[in-house]
A and B are shown apart, each in its own frame.
Chain A
Amino acid sequence: MVESGAKRTPLNDWHRAHGASMAIFGGYDMPLWYTAGAKAEHLAVINGCGMFDTSHMAVLRLTGPDIHEFLQWCFSRDLERCVGRQKAPLTPGRAVYGVFLNEAGGVVDDVILFQTEPDVYLAVVNAGMGAHATHHVLNYIDTCEDSCNVLISDLTDKVGKIDLQGPLAGLVMREVLADPGRVLDAMPYFSFKGSLYGSPTDRIGDVRLKDGTPVLLSRSGYTGEFGFEVFVEPGKLVGAWEVIFEAGQRYGLLPCGLAARDSLRAGAVLPLSHQDNGNWRYIENPWSVALPYNDDGTAFTKDFLGRRALESSPPSYFTRPFAGFDMRKIAPAIAPPVVVDSAGKVIGIVLTCVTDMGIDRVDGAIVSIASPERPDGFVPRGLCCGFVKVNRWLPAGERIVLRGAKREIPVVITDDIRPGRTARKSMETMLSYTQTPQGRTT
């Protein structure tokens, strides 16, 4: 049964045929988990590989002679200084994470911006946000200096997307690509090759699956683990999914739902837009990389929409990651759970609280099933983790209590959560990954 009004991705029948538990998210009828369960899916992505239907994400296409100046104004990254440690300019074949802010410094949505050609960009925003984000950016054309010649198209439901994630993702991808040696060579984190329609004018190479399906293949994702986002036109999505799914079977690949996606991203200190960011000033949070800071973090390198609000006064709120001491979490109720400091004072609210089932504490320190230093026979019970929004800066190590309607949970502020993540490892390292999955507890 699909609830009336919910949209479906082209994979909806596949999900149901494979026993997925479904729920509405962002206006789409999406899998929460399949028959293996969210815990097995979460662990597969840390130790092996998993694939997610992420076709609910919306995509904008931005082009026009003035698009660079326009994005410099309404997107939070400085496109002249954003790639790698050297802070090189964005070039075709590179992607960056940032946000669209409003004048008050609040978040319209978070974005991964792909430069496909010198004056063409794809902006991946969140489910259901295509029209909203388009409306927002178009609104600000008027605030550009002089005339602003840009064309913005909302590609909502015109792009299919598969996230193949986990340390074995490279080995699976190598089996399904038409020319894997060329494609996977020189492909650092947040770079991409190919295009949705296999356009011959494309400057960043052609990427095809073995059956000829053109894809845009990006080394990115939302799990903190090594892997790819595969963009494909919707009519070819099911075929591409099945090809990857089949090739993945010998690597233990599991189809994964939104529950595992949520717990993986939280453990990787990645925000869920509109939950971990929102209509408060986007500053003093774990995602300062999204802002155009100079090298020592003391000033911004460009002017941009929302900047004045960010600089206008000291921050009112601070967003900090936390981790607990066992798997118990605090459930969101009608009112959000609150944060209580050691003096018993309520100082904020809980934004995200999930259980990362791949980690546990060993002698107080967080250890993952992927940590090289994990003890023999390490079987994690999971740790509660997520983000709090509080009214003063809390240093790592400070203990707080999360208080819900019925229970209180002690947790500790931390700078990072799940150790041993693979997202940034080199392609070379990951293509030689031979570790057999360990630590599976199901």
Chain B
Amino acid sequence: MKGLGELHIPGDTFYSDDHEWAKKAGDLIRVGISDFAQDQMGDIVYVELPGIGTHHDAGVEFGVVESVKTVSDCLMPIAGEVVAVNAALDGSPGLVNESPYADGWMMDVKPDDPGCLDALMDEAAYRVFLEKG
């Protein structure tokens, strides 16, 4: 398991207490799981993503990430409508391990509330959250 100092926690990104991340991508919000989450899960073998056009409230399940060890639900960090998903994860789920914030992104969401990121943790707050365990 990575130590706290080894975890990648980008500064332009916001985090939920379920270890999903969200960051602005134009008018949309891009969503994935954090370096901490992928490190805890181990090798990811399958990612199940939602249908385009589906709407999900914050905190509800939008997908499933399956590793060698476990099957975990992914929870919406914000509320909104799914407008795109990362099709590359279908054939290469390991991208979530290799590049959780870039090539391993999961979906783009049109947020219900453009100010929704304010409800999430920034880098410093997420770091404190992880330290508390």
Determine, out of B8-16, B64-72, B77-85, the stretch whose residues face the partner at the interface: B64-72
For residue A263, which residues in chain B have a CB less than 8 angstroms away from its CB? 68
Chain A proximity of B7: nearest CB distance (Å): 13
Contacts A39-B45, A327-B46, A382-B45: A21 and B1 contacting too (C-beta < 8 A)? yes
Decide: B46 and A38 in contact? CB cutoff 8 A: no
Decide: B42 and A38 in contact? CB cutoff 8 A: yes
A259 to B42, CA, bound (A): 9
The answer, among B61, B66, B68, B70, for a CB contact under 8 Å with A328, is B66
The answer, among A38, A42, A330, A407, for a CB contact under 8 Å with B69, is A38
Does B73 lie at the interface of the complex (its beta carbon under 8 Å from any beta carbon of A)? yes
For residue B100, which residues in chain A have a CB less than 8 angstroms away from its CB? none
- The size of the chain B interface, using a CB distance under 8 A, is 16
The answer, among B46, B64, B68, B97, for a CB contact under 8 Å with A259, is B68
Decide: B42 and A21 in contact? CB cutoff 8 A: yes
A10 to B97, CA, bound (A): 30
Decide: A406 and B73 in contact? CB cutoff 8 A: yes
Inter-chain contact total with CB atoms closer than 8 Å: 55
Q: Which A residues from 355 to 378 make CB contacts under 8 A with B?
A: 355, 357
Decide: A38 and B1 in contact? CB cutoff 8 A: no
For residue B122, which residues in chain A have a CB less than 8 angstroms away from its CB? none
For residue A382, which residues in chain B have a CB less than 8 angstroms away from its CB? 45
A406 to B62, CA, bound (A): 13
Could you mark each residue 324-344 of chain A with 1 if its beta carbon is under 8 Å from any beta carbon of chain B, else 0?
A: 001111110000000000000
Does B123 lie at the interface of the complex (its beta carbon under 8 Å from any beta carbon of A)? no
Does A32 lie at the interface of the complex (its beta carbon under 8 Å from any beta carbon of B)? yes
A284 to B1, CA, bound (A): 40
Contacts A22-B1, A442-B94: A357 and B45 contacting too (C-beta < 8 A)? yes
The answer, among B39, B42, B66, B97, for a CB contact under 8 Å with A327, is B66
Decide: A355 and B68 in contact? CB cutoff 8 A: yes
Decide: A328 and B46 in contact? CB cutoff 8 A: yes
Chain B proximity of A30: nearest CB distance (Å): 13
Decide: A37 and B1 in contact? CB cutoff 8 A: no
Decide: B70 and A331 in contact? CB cutoff 8 A: yes
For residue A322, which residues in chain B have a CB less than 8 angstroms away from its CB? none
Does B43 lie at the interface of the complex (its beta carbon under 8 Å from any beta carbon of A)? yes
A395 to B97, CA, bound (A): 39
A39 to B1, CA, bound (A): 16
Q: Which A residues from 35 to 64 make CB contacts under 8 A with B?
A: 37-40, 42
Of all chain B residues, the one with the shortest Cβ separation from A36 is B43
In the A-B complex, the 8 residue pairs with the closest CB atoms: A331-B71, A38-B68, A39-B43, A37-B43, A21-B1, A327-B45, A259-B68, A38-B43
16 pairs, A vs B, C-beta closer than 8 Å: A21-B39, A21-B42, A37-B97, A38-B42, A39-B45, A40-B43, A42-B68, A259-B42, A259-B69, A263-B68, A327-B66, A328-B46, A354-B68, A357-B45, A407-B71, A442-B94
